[in-house]
Structure 1
Amino acid sequence: MPSLSPVPQLSITEKEEIYQQIAEYSNETTIIHSNQKVLYINQPGSDFFKASKETLIGANVVDVFTEDYKELITERIRTGMEDRAIGELMETTVRRFDGTLADVELYCYPVQYGETVAIQSIIHDISAQKQTERDLLQLKNEISTPIVPIIDGLAVLPLVGSVDGDRSNRLLDIIPQKIQGENLQCLIIDVSGIYNIDNVVAEFLYKVDHIMRLLGIQLIFTGIRPELALKAIEARVDFSQLTTMGTVKQALKRHLTIK
């Protein structure tokens, strides 16, 4: 029986070259890094980050992440290097070399790169998906924020649901846009349908009132519960400048009486 030929032993350089050849066939950004230093990145990764391989290799991999993620990424790398732990799939944001931001999914796992203990990070660009989600959310918020004309110069805006920081900012953009061309003198905002009673809501009411004053529109708030007034005091928001009524019916009666 003929003897089997021994399997040739590959050099470290040959192993790295084979690994790189395989990674180049991937459409996903593939980065090999050790102690935060980039050892290798494939061409799709170079294209994604809008920088040459020469620029990226040797760079600190943490630097591509936005400030609010750097601490978390640093800890993931430490755990991967010291404990050889797999970094589970997560969503994060990276800054490319042309300054643009991209939403990505990140998956990391420990590898042996030649003789170097390293981590392989796979980055999947989900910017288009996240933008679609943001557009749908904005459309949903716009649809769920109807300004209802009552009579000439007067309309009611009922707010329903939760108002967090993001929705607060969107409302501050949407409301002035929606009242353009309506020739309003007075807008009644009813907040009785808002679920959360916190400092964010208190600050939102103060800001939207200030914006409406600048636009020359009187604002009347209805449905403010005692808990919200207490939160306003905690947040040092001066509600004394706001015009408030118990119900929309009372606000309408007051407005019509004044007219």
Structure 2
Amino acid sequence: MNFQFVKEGSDYSIDAPPQVAQRIKEQNSNYVRLVAKTLIHSEEETKKRIEEWTNKTAADRVQSNTSLSEVVRNSGVFRHVYWLYVQKFVEQTTLDINVSDIFGWERKINFTLDYVLETFTNRFMEIVTERLAAQASLIRELSTPVITLTNQIGLLPLIGDIDTNRAKSILESTLHQSVDSKISVLIMDLSGVVMVDTMVAQQLFQLVDSLRMVGVKTILTGIRPEVAQTAIQLGINFGDIQTETSLQKVVGKLVMKHM
């Protein structure tokens, strides 16, 4: 019987490339031997071998277009087929096997299969979560780029809603980018920001202070009327920070000054 189906990119797809099919065949062969050896190994040794196997195979599955639901499904298929072969062995062997032996095998084999699925799922989700976190970090960094206008002047255009998490990311990313590019002036354009709350303002002030400590002067431009009004209502004071109404004008002045 064939339990495979077609899904492009999946390791388990019936139309998987020959090299993928061969790798899966080798992994399954190792898996069969791993399960069989649980009948003679201690539980501690079994767990160690399982974790080694699942760490590697989980990484392989994440690399491909193989979902966790497919893994779970094929785990059930494997369990079904495995026990069919156990049944076939019991029916055909000349060895003296009793019911107690079979139930002893059941406890060890099913423990192994359950532990494989548990450790595989945990490792699979760890890898996926790590990748998502890395991608989210990259997206946040790309969403707050410091654009180098000259050797000494940088521009940070902020667009959209800024919550506390994004404000924190802006602080960290901007500080590193400004230091790496060795600028002395950073223009922070807020024309694309429609709302600023107290927590976000505090993060922006912290960014300005941090930049000042590393020798970078900050100029705020494009503060929208509604943002300014909200800032006044919240008691936010921009008095210690240079502000300009027009990004174009301040860029022109600074470029001419540093030429």
The structure whose RCO (Cα within 8 Å, separation 6+) is larger is 2
TM-score, normalising length: structure 2: 0.49
TM-score, normalising length: structure 1: 0.49
Higher helix share: 2
Higher strand share: 1
